[in-house]
Amino acid sequence: MELAIIRATNALFSIIYLLVVVDVFASWLPFLYSNRTIVRILYMIHSLTGPVINPVRKLINKTPMGRMPIDFSPVIVLLLLNFVRYFVLTILMVLLYGRG
């Protein structure tokens, strides 16, 4: 049971990570937007990743880095996701198994 909780949590973080990566790569490939089905899928992915990326994007825009032509917010989100994943999984391990 405990292992299932840890695996499910890890899988959730992996899915979020993958969705952010797909959203970024899709924005670099404009030919994907010629297929209506793919557009619907990409819109769904963007609507799921937007609430995660947009707050970071707003913070970056308030800094000098916000004036750069490249959007670094997805990179920062991916780094934060890895940090939060490690933190959450470590806490779960301690709570469920009593060790880190």
SS (H, E, C) 40-69: HHHHHHHHHHHHHHHHHHHHHHCCHHHHCC
Domain boundaries, the chain: 2-97
Q: pTM for this one?
A: 0.87
* C-alpha–C-alpha distance, residues 88 and 10, integer Å: 9
The per-residue b/e assignment along 55-67, b for 16 or more CB within 10 angstroms, e otherwise, is ebbeebeeeeeee
- What are the pLDDT digits (tens) for 1-56? 788 999 999 999 999 999 999 999 999 998 888 999 999 999 999 999 999 999 99
- What are the pLDDT digits (tens) for 42-91? 999 999 999 999 999 999 988 887 788 888 999 999 999 999 999 999 99
The DSSP code for 1 is: -
